[in-house]
Each structure stands twice: as C-alpha cells, then as structure tokens.
Amino acid sequence: MNPLRLRCLLVLALALALLPLASASAADPGANRHTVHFARGTSESTVSGSLTGYDTVNYLLGARAGQTMHVTLSDSNDAYFNVIAPGEDHAMAGALELQSWSGPLPATGEYRIEVFQPRAQARRGGTATYTIRFAIE
C-alpha cells in the first residue's frame, strides 16, 4: 500500500475514534452542574454566573409535581435558558430559549435549567454574564 495513502487512513481512523469523545464532552449535561439550594425558610435563590462560546451551565433544582417554578434570567441579553423535567433530555413545552418562565411542574424530581448563549454569539466566542433567580411555590 502507498505510504501516503496509509498515513491518510491512519489519520482518518484516529479522527473517527476521537469524534465521539469531542461530541460527548460538548453535549454532556454533567459538565458544569450546580445544585440550587434555598436558604432555610426561603423558597428562592439567586445565582450569578458567566459562560463563553458554546458552554452550557446546568442548574439542578429538586421540586414536586404540582408546585410552580419561576425562573428569571437578568443582567444579560446574550443568555437564555431551557427547563428540563426529571428523566427528560429535552426542554419542557413552553420552556425553551427563554429569559423568564413560570409554570406548574409535571413530575417530582430534579429539574435541570440549562443556560446557554444563542448560536451566533457562541460562534463568535462571546462571553455572557448573567444573574438567574429560581423560586418554587
């Protein structure tokens, strides 16, 4: 076999072998996770953060079915969030790419609120700082 062709095949095989690792880390909801805690006697919490490029920050919040969750993202025009119910891997209906949301919760368990930048901002490698407020009734 031609040495150049062999080298190309080896590079291609290596690239294909590493592709799942790159995809898994970019889409891993386990990366950059923060559990939301409420101070004793309160039912709300406010957190500040930032993200760059295609980063996603995940906030985990335990709640019961029938409660109402309120999430408000402020201090940024360059960040949005999705609300993801326990056991799901996609945003709840009506809780996709928002800066403010309130709604009844369909299930008991750990909700994930993922904060991210719009694609155009992420593609430019921009940084978004934000404040996010969580409340449960």
Q: Where are the domains of the chain?
A: 1-28, 33-136
**57 CB-near residues (< 8 Å, 6+ apart):** 32, 34, 49, 51, 114, 115, 116
Task: Give residue-wise pLDDT tens across range 13-49.
Answer: 444 444 343 333 344 545 689 999 999 999 999 999 9
Q: Write down the pTM of the prediction.
A: 0.75
Give per-residue pLDDT as tens, 66-111.
Answer: 999 999 999 888 899 999 999 999 999 888 899 999 999 999 999 9
At 76 the pLDDT is: 83
Q: What confidence score (pLDDT) does residue 6 get?
A: 52
On average, the pLDDT of the chain sits at 84
Look at residue 78 in the predicted model and tell me its pLDDT.
87
User: Are 59 and 36 a contacting pair, CB within 8 Å?
Assistant: yes
Q: Does domain 33-136 have CATH number 1.10.10.10?
A: no
